[in-house]
A and B are shown apart, each in its own frame.
Chain A
Amino acid sequence: MAIRERLSGNEAVAYAIKQINPDVMPAFPITPSTEIPQYVANYIANGEIDTEFIHVESEHSAMSAAIGACAAGARTVTATSSCGMALMWEELYVAASDRLPVVLALVNRALTGPININADHSDSMGARDAGWIQIYAESNQEVYDNFLQAYPIAEHKDVHLPVMICQDGFITSHGVENIMLVEDDKAKAFVGEYCPEHYLLNAKEPMAVGPYAVSNYYMETKRAQRQAMLNAKRVILDVAKKYEEMTGRKYGFFEEYRMEDAEYAVVIIGSAAGTCKAAVDHIRETTGKKVGLVKIRVFRPFPEEELAKVLKNLKAAAVLDRSEMFSATSGPLGAEVRAALYSAKAEIELVNYFYGLGGRDITVGDFEKIFDNLEEIAQTHEIRDMYAYIGLREGDCHGNSL
């Protein structure tokens, strides 16, 4: 029987780490992810797990140590947020290109400046091109479930890529909610033992990791890295299927919420999807309008074709980004979704709104306004604000807020 519990998102991740008992955890504290290494250090001090905790002097060192440990053949985990991830930047690329299955528990927090400790996705979205698999969660349950699936994906022989398991800072990381935990023995059996084919500490096979590659090799190496990302799509679904067999909880690249007959949809990542679900239910119950939600779980690799298939026959959709990328056009998710729809030759009305930057709250009422707006756009075929900000204070001049 699964274990009924109530945990914060950080507790849930730490609990998953305890169940997995990885070999090495180098970590440096930063709000709001600090509790994860704290809890793990407690487990170690209490003798519940025998993970080697490395106290490093910075996140740059944390990721460097993670790379070293993983290359040596150890199952490795670390955790960070925001500026901590920014300091890991260089090493994120090294872990991915060296094809090391490190798992990073990322608690999403806005990047400075202005300095801010609350949730948005600017940290992980900035790292979206680093070559890491990125999996996002709506709730504590999802971040726990995603974490248990991380190593089987990362360590699969057709993948060998690092995985970032993301959750929204404070909103899920520090909020206590109900959760169903997998029993220890089942969790351990699901994740399995890490038995790398090649590793630095294998005295029988001296090897080199991360050699210099001149132009004659670099591009071929990158193409092979792309293949790993492509392969990851199949592996992510296979692992999700096995997880569903064990827990009954179904996961894919994204969740379709009341999309069967939907005419209008919001596309979103993370904890606000739950708030949007309440809006979808309320609108359907009170007005009968056909609204739905697509919640992106896997952002890297990006499920381009699969997503376009779900969206292309809608009347209108709003893609919501929880980070700016200052292209002076769309946000990161907006750009991906638009590209996907273009490839599918879809002609739906599409807007891209920004919300929740630096922890700005988004409510059920905000989502109801967004759906109203989509309906108006579908009727008039006029888009007034392609890139509006949700909940922004606006002066008298014409601007982009809803």
Chain B
Amino acid sequence: MKDTVEIRWHGRGGQGAKTAALLLADVAFKTGKYVQGFPEYGPERMGAPITAYNRISKNPITVHSNIYEPDYVVVVDDGLLDCTDVTAGLKKGGAVIVNTQRSKSEIEAKLPNWNGKVITVNAREISEDALGKYFPNSPMLAAAVAISGVMAPEVFLKEMQASFEHKFAKKPEVVAGNMKALKMTLKAIA
């Protein structure tokens, strides 16, 4: 990983893109990094496009602006590709990670301004298989970690296990499902 990695999340209000950004900050923090996780705030409206950001660095971070030239972009809802220029400012050599059930070529066709790497993740299939419900957060988080290389996959899994056990202390039955979703995503991308 380079000194500072900047990630921009695109999602819709209520889908958990902000939560995913905060989870990524959380897990990177636990591996000793300096982190920022912040949403771009406006009036909160379910379904409206929202943006969230991560800076993850080996050094203290002082910048408090939004991220205009991210290293990676994560799109939690492929419907956003029709209304938002998700790859705006995306650095050459970076990648856009899209949650979709469509084929990679279909997604690429929706990103005419981007010639770089496109990674598709079928978070619905993974989530429904692992959890029996559609929660795109865990798969997209795993994909962001795997593609950005902000930490080794085994370190990530270890930290997430502890994190889920803490978070779901009152419903431990969902821990295994969430861990399975992470592992399935890592495997699908590798």
Which A residues lie at the B interface, using CB under 8 A? Answer: 6, 32, 117-118, 138-139, 168, 170-172, 174-178, 271-272, 274-275, 277-278, 359, 361-364
In the complex, the chain A residue whose C-beta lies closest to that of B65 is A363
Which of B26, B37, B39, B62 interacts with A277 by CB under 8 Å?
B62
Q: Which of B29, B37, B63 is close to A364, meaning CB atoms less than 8 Å apart?
A: B63
B61 touches A177 (CB 8 A): yes
**Contacts A174-B41, A178-B29; A271 near B64 (Cβ below 8 A):** yes
Task: Give Cα distance in the complex from A138 to B63, angstroms.
Answer: 10
CB distance from B141 to the nearest CB of A (A): 15
Q: Mark B6-46, 1 if CB is under 8 A from A, else 0.
A: 00000000000000001001100100001111110111000
Counting from the closest, the 10 A-B pairs by CB-CB distance are A175-B38, A274-B62, A271-B64, A6-B29, A176-B37, A170-B41, A363-B65, A277-B62, A278-B63, A274-B64
Q: Distance in Å from the Cβ of A371 to the closest Cβ of chain B?
A: 16
B41 partner residues in chain A, CB cutoff 8 A: 32, 117-118, 170, 174, 359
Chain B residues with CB under 8 A of A361: 65-66
Question: Chain B contact residues (Cβ within 8 angstroms of A): what range?
Answer: 20 to 34
B35, B39, B43: the one contacting A177 at CB < 8 Å is: B35
Asked whether, in the complex, the Cβ of B34 is within 8 Å of the Cβ of A178, the reply is yes
Q: Are A172 and B64 in contact (CB under 8 A)?
A: yes
Chain A residues within 8 Å of B64, by CB: 138-139, 168, 171-172, 175, 271-272, 274-275
Closest Cβ–Cβ distance, residue A194 to chain B (whole Å): 34
Cβ A275 vs Cβ B68 within 8 A: no
Assembly CA distance A363 to B43 (angstroms): 23
Q: Are A6 and B25 in contact (CB under 8 A)?
A: yes
| Residue contact B43 to A274, C-beta cutoff 8 Å | no
7 other A-B residue contacts (CB within 8 Å) besides A177-B36, A361-B66: A175-B64, A176-B25, A275-B64, A277-B62, A278-B63, A361-B65, A363-B68
Please tell me if the beta carbons of A6 and B26 are within 8 angstroms of each other in the complex. yes
Q: Which residue of A lies closest to B60 (CB)?
A: A178
| A171-B38, A176-B35 known; A278+B62 contact, CB < 8 A | yes
The residue in chain B whose Cβ has the minimal distance to the Cβ of A141 is: B60
Q: Which residues of A contact B36 (CB under 8 A)?
A: 175-177
Indicate the member of B37, B41, B68 with the most A CB atoms within 10 Å. B41
Q: Using Cβ atoms and an 8 Å threshold, which residues of chain B touch A359? A: 41
Q: Could you name 23 residue pairs across A and B whose Cβ atoms are closer than 8 Å? A: A6-B25, A6-B26, A6-B35, A117-B42, A138-B62, A171-B64, A175-B37, A176-B25, A176-B37, A177-B35, A177-B36, A178-B29, A178-B34, A271-B64, A272-B64, A274-B61, A274-B63, A275-B62, A275-B64, A278-B62, A359-B41, A361-B66, A364-B63
Q: How far is the CB of A73 from chain B (nearest CB, A)?
A: 39
A178 to B35, CA, bound (A): 6
Residues of A within 8 A of B29 (CB): 6, 178
